[in-house]
Amino acid sequence: MIKIRLQRKGRIRRPIYHIVVADSRSPRDGRIIEQVGRFDGVTEKKETILNEDRIMYWLDTGAQPTDSVRKILRTEGILYKRHLKMWGKSDEEIEAAMEEWKAYRDSKKGDEVTRRDQVKAALAVEEKEYKKQVEKKAATAAAEVASEQEDVAEAEEVEAEVAEEVTEEAPAAEEVVEETTEEPAAEEETTEDEAPAEEEAKEEPKEEAPVEEAPAEETKEEEVAEEPAEEAKEEEAAKTSVDMTAKEAADHISNTDLADLEGFVTDAEERKTVLAAWEAKKAD
């Protein structure tokens, strides 16, 4: 059986297809009978080139198009034009019907939503949801900080009240201590032998202890300066896709080596664009 089918050309992830006529038993890249068109739906050109006369000839001789080729022929109006000829329409009637059909097709193209627009809409929805979650977390954190500050203020007020009560009770306690401890102090008499010993002790000079010099503070300042930089690197390395927006996470995945992305995409990640970028990076 003769088939009108697609033959893949181009390169990886940017294919271009030739529309060929070939035996159904031959392999995809095998021998062909004739090339009757070209289809490019990936690159910026996105063009479809068809040889209508040869396609009509092979359809009239019994060649069967595949599902993909049939869709292309229906989109370009080849099948509709063939049906008009089979119904016995004149050339003028066929041209008028084709112009009307093309105008209707072009009007429908403006209503179609491209895949790029769908991806942009999905990104916008994910960004909006992510901002809501961030604002919610910030509000809860602010409420916790405010409650902690209120607790600290209450504790300070209680401490101030207790200190005032203690200062009021302190004079009464001192008066009681003075009343109980009013006794004449016994004076110590020093003997004549002890006095010269005390004078000799006063005259002997005291040895001054060696003063140790404080170590230089330059090394401490260098360590203090290096520690924040190392902590910043560790925090940046520990950052996951959940801590970024969908666009930032996707750009980070595409611009970073696969070996450095270990643990970046966690099990909690549910955003489709981030997961799609991760799958594409692993496929590369």
**Is residue 241's pLDDT more than 90?**
no
Identify whether residues 105 and 118 lie together within a single domain: no
Q: What is the pLDDT of residue 117?
A: 76
Strand partners of residue 37 = 19, 50
82 or 222, higher pLDDT: 82
Identify whether residues 86 and 130 lie together within a single domain: no
- CA atoms 254, 255, 257, 262: torsion sign: negative
Q: What is the pLDDT of residues 158-178, one digit of tens each?
A: 888 787 777 766 555 555 545
- Give percent of the chain with pLDDT exceeding 70: 72
Q: Smallest Cα–Cα separation from 55: which of 28, 30, 29, 82?
A: 82
**Is residue 126's pLDDT more than 50?**
yes
| Six-digit token string for 178 | 């003075």
What total of structural domains would you count in the chain? Answer: 3
Residue 138's Cβ-side half-sphere holds a number of Cα atoms within 13 Å equal to 6
Kindly state whether residue 23 falls inside one of the protein's structural domains. Answer: yes
Domain extent, residue 172, equals 113-176
Identify whether residues 77 and 118 lie together within a single domain: no
Give the SS3 label for residue 191. Answer: coil
Q: What is the pLDDT of residues 178-209, one digit of tens each?
A: 555 555 444 444 444 444 444 444 445 444 54
Q: What is the pLDDT of residue 228?
A: 52
- Please list the alpha-helical segments (H only) found in 114-245: 115-180, 194-203, 218-237
19 Cβ partners below 8 Å, 6+ apart?
Answer: 4, 5, 6, 7, 35, 36, 37, 38, 39, 50, 55, 69, 72
Highest mean pLDDT among 29-33, 42-46, 166-170, 248-252: 29-33
281 Cβ partners below 8 Å, 6+ apart?
Answer: 253, 254, 258, 261
Domain boundary among 60, 86, 109: 109
Kindly state whether residue 58 falls inside one of the protein's structural domains. Answer: yes
**Is residue 70's pLDDT more than 80?**
yes
Identify whether residues 74 and 125 lie together within a single domain: no
User: What global pTM score does this model have?
Assistant: 0.39
Over residues 264-282, mean pLDDT: 82
Identify whether residues 38 and 82 lie together within a single domain: yes
CA distance 262 to 243: 15
Identify whether residues 93 and 6 lie together within a single domain: yes
Kindly state whether residue 91 falls inside one of the protein's structural domains. Answer: yes
Mean pLDDT lowest for which of 19-28, 232-241, 248-257? 232-241
Identify whether residues 39 and 135 lie together within a single domain: no
61: part of which helix (H) or strand (E)?
none
Identify whether residues 238 and 257 lie together within a single domain: yes
Instruction: Grade residue 110 by pLDDT with cuts at 50, 70 and 90.
Output: low
Kindly state whether residue 59 falls inside one of the protein's structural domains. Answer: yes
7: part of which helix (H) or strand (E)?
strand 2-11
| Six-digit token string for 15 | 């294919």
**Is residue 142's pLDDT more than 70?**
yes
* 31 close to 22: Cβ distance less than 8 angstroms: yes
Domain boundary among 56, 78, 109: 109
Identify whether residues 105 and 6 lie together within a single domain: yes
Domain boundary among 84, 109, 134: 109
Q: What is the pLDDT of residue 244?
A: 80
Mean pLDDT lowest for which of 75-84, 195-204, 234-243? 195-204
Over residues 141-151, mean pLDDT: 88
Unique residue bearing structure tokens 């059986």: 1
- Give percent of the chain with pLDDT exceeding 90: 15
**CATH code for the domain in which residue 68 is found:** 3.30.1320.10
